[in-house]
Chain A
């Protein structure tokens, strides 16, 4: 009766061995460096966003005609563009930072679960980038089609 469960259905044996790969000494060193550079990228991005926001909010306009509607429009569109960049970029880099922290903690405590969480954040990071790329490509294709339709209509 005790041996009723087959080895394949027994939790913690075959499922764990499904991937016989491991993070050996070289792999752990690579993970450490990966985490460091990912952290540098995300922190640089966050600092850059702060500076970009500050410049957009409090920066001086180069134009002499401050009150004109074209300057106001340009300033507003610049501000909106910066906000959009900060929100999307912030979300993307948040997951990159989580990846870096997860991997770092996992490697330090030799905890595979934390490393898994880190890789899950990397998956979300690449997924968001992929979705943004798909949206950009769709807009590009749409613009080309509209342009071609406009040329054909002449």
Chain B
């Protein structure tokens, strides 16, 4: 009993973990389940976006031939720009999903092997995932506001 009361708390001043917070059992369990769901989302996302990218690349040559017949080379140029834009957007989305996958694998590995560096890398991947999503959210909000304003005009 005496030893229990004397044991320094992780967050107590003067304790070993004054400047750091320890991940306890509950936190670890919660993170493990979080990682499981994020891995599922990431894998489905990578497969789905990969199929979409493949369809765009394969379908674009067919559509390009059709557009050339209808509008000539100028039409193909415009179509090329549209396809390049779609491919860039898809590449960004695939990068975002890969970050989510990295979060799930690195965090899981960090917890399993009790490796602090791997665990931190996993958290950084989640930060990158949220950062890119944040930029996308800001752009999407601007578009929503513009379309809402257009609906009132």
Contact = CB atoms under 8 A, between A and B. Distances in A.
A19 B28 contact: yes
A126 B41 contact: yes
Interface residues of B, number: 50
Interface stretch (B76-84, B87-95, B126-134): B126-134
A21 B114 contact: yes
Interface stretch (A66-74, A106-114, A146-154): A106-114
Contact of A112 (B22, B130, B133, B134): B22
A44 B1 CA distance: 51
B35 to A, nearest CB: 9
- Category for how many chain A residues contact B: 35 or more
Given A21-B23, A25-B20, A48-B141, A30 B127 contact: yes
A26 B134 CA distance: 21
B30 A123 contact: yes
Nearest to B32: A123
Contacts of B20: 22-25, 27-28
B21 A112 contact: yes
Contacts of B1: 2
A126 B34 contact: yes
Given A55-B148, A55-B151, A55-B152, A122 B34 contact: yes
A116 B24 CA distance: 9
Given A16-B25, A40-B138, 19 more contacts: A2-B1, A16-B24, A21-B28, A21-B110, A21-B114, A21-B116, A22-B17, A23-B22, A37-B134, A40-B134, A47-B141, A51-B141, A54-B148, A55-B152, A59-B148, A106-B21, A122-B34, A126-B38, A133-B44
Interface of B: 1, 4, 7, 10-11, 17, 19-28, 30-31, 33-34, 37-38, 40-41, 44, 110-111, 114, 116, 119-120, 123-124, 126-127, 130-131, 133-134, 137-138, 140-141, 144-145, 147-148, 151-153
